[in-house]
Copies of this chain bind each other. A is one copy, B any other.
Amino acid sequence: MNVSARNLLKGTIKSLVVGVVSAEVVLEVAPGVEVAAVITKASSEKLGLTLGQDVYAVIKASDVMLAVD
């Protein structure tokens, strides 16, 4: 499936915390660069996520803000 989201960042799962409804997943997308995602516990289970797995972070361009120092 090819998604309209402009941003697809490949990474490896470094941590996985699962709550009642939500799960927090942290990926390393480049050496020293991490991306955190909060998805539903149900999605986490559907995708069968585990530590060390290679996955993509998918981010819609309209959800990205910019900041300057």
Contact = CB atoms under 8 A, between A and B. Distances in A.
B43 A64 contact: no
Contacts of A49: 66
Interface string A45-60: 0111100011111111
Chain A interface, DSSP helix/strand/loop, else mixed: strand
A18 B29 CA distance: 28
A59 B64 contact: yes
A65 B46 CA distance: 13
A67 B56 contact: yes
Contacts of A62: 38, 40, 60, 62
Given A3-B67, A47-B4, A37 B58 contact: no
